Structure 1
C-alpha cells in the first residue's frame, strides 16, 4: 500500500478532505451525493445535518486515551457510564471498542462516513448525545431514523454499517456510510499494518490491545457481511 493511501486510511492526513462544503469536514467526493440525500430528506421535513464527519488519527487517539483514563465516559449497552477503575485492562479495551473505534481503524478517518441528526427535531441548544434512545421510537430523531430505513439509501450509494448489533460495534443508527468510497477504503485495510501503527503509537492500554489484536481486528474493524 502506498504511503498516501495508508495515511488517508488511518486518518494521518486530511488531503482527501474539504472543510467548508458541509457542517463538518468530509471527503471531497462525498459532498455532491450528501447534498442530494439531504435535499431528499428536506422534502420530508427533515433537516439532516452532519454531527461528525472526518476525524483525524490524533483526535481518535485523544478520545481513546480519555476514555481509558476515565476523563470521558465509557458506556455499557444501556448507555450508562461504567467505572473504569473496577474492570481489568482487557475488559476495558472491549468496552471502549463497543462505542469508539481503535485509532487508525475508524471509518471516520476516511471522510465518507458521517454521524447525522435532524436539526428540525430539537432546539438549537439541544445537547446531542448520539445514543440509540435518540433514534428509537419516542426519541427526537425517530422520524429521521425511520426515513433512513425507508428512503432507499442504497439507491443513493449510502448504507448504515452499524444498524444491527452483530456483537462488535454497538448499534449506531446515526452512522451513514457512502459505499462507493467506503468499499475502496475497507478493501485496503491491512491487519499487519494497523498493528504496526498501534505498536508505534503512545496509546493507553497498548498491551491489552496487542494481546487481543486478532480478535479486535476481526470483531471491530472488519465489517461483517
Structure 2
C-alpha cells in the first residue's frame, strides 16, 4: 500500500487497544544507577540509530515495512547520554533567563514542556526514538505537533505508526490524552516497550529526589523537594499507561 492510499484509508483511532499487550518481564536484568541516568557506557547498534540490540533489530523491521508503504522513517534523536542532556538543558535555561529575561522558575517550567532534567530522560536508555518521515521536504523545526497532524507533512507517517508501530514493540510515549500531565504531546516520540518497561520499573526504585539533589548544573539550584516530586509524578510517570 503506497503513501497516498494509506493516508486515505488508515484509521485515525490512534493508540486505542481493546486488550493491553503483555510483555515478558526482565527481572533478571540488573540496571545500574549510572546506566539508568545515562552516565554509563552501553552497547548501541546501528549507525545513526543507536539503540539497544533488540530495539535496533525491531526498528529495522518496522522501517522496512514502512518503506514498502511509502514512508521513510528517519531518526532525529535516539540515545542521549546524561552529558548531552545537560548541555541541552543548560542551553535552554540560559536562553530563557538571559536572552528572554524569564525568571528561573518560569524558565524551568518552560523547559520541561518538552525537555527532561538531565538524568531523567528516557533517551538515556537506548530504547526511545524521535522520528520523522524522510520523504517530505520540510522547513524549520521538524519536531512540531502540527506537522504530524491533519495536512501536515508527517501526517501519513503518524497514521502508519498508529496502525503498525505496536506490532514491532514501539509505543507512543507522550500521548494526546487531555487528562495527561507533564510533557506535552509528542507525536514523534516512541519507546521500545519490551525493554523500556523493565528499565522504568528499575528507575522507579531509585531515590530520584536524593540523586537530583546531588547534581550540579545550571538551574538545578532552584529545584525544591516539592518540584522534584511533582516532576516525577507528572513528567516521568504520567505517560502512555502501556509503558508503565
Residue of structure 2 aligned with 1:164, choices 140, 165, 176? 176
Q: 2:130 aligns with which of 94, 115, 118?
A: 115
What is the RMSD computed on CA atoms of the aligned residues?
2.3
What pairs with 1:1-225 in structure 2 (closer than 5 Å)?
5-18=32-45, 21-70=46-95, 84-86=100-102, 88-122=103-137, 127-151=140-164, 153-165=165-177, 166-190=180-204, 193-211=207-225, 212-224=227-239, 225=241
Report the more deviating stretch, 40-49 or 127-136: 127-136
2:195 aligned counterpart, secondary structure:
helix
Match of 1:98, SS state, is coil
Counterpart residue number, 1:78: none
Secondary structure in structure 2 of the residue aligned to 1:183: helix
- Aligned equivalents of 1:181 and 1:154: distance in 2? 14
Deviations 1:60-109 (A, max 9, x none): 01111111111xx79xxxxxxxx7413x3223222211110111110100
**Alpha-carbon shift at residue 7 of structure 1 (Å):** 1.6
Unmatched tracts of structure 2, length 5 or more: 1-28
Runs of 4+ aligned structure 1 residues displaced above 6 Å come to none
Deviation at 1:155, TM superposition (A): 2.2
TM-score, length-scaled by structure 1: 0.84
TM superposition score normalised by structure 2: 0.77
Distance in 1 (alpha carbons) for counterparts of 2:130 and 2:60 = 15
Asked whether the 8 Å contact 1:22–1:50 carries over to 2, the reply is no
Aligned residues: 208
CA 1:32–1:24 in 2, change beyond 3 Å: closer, same or farther?
closer
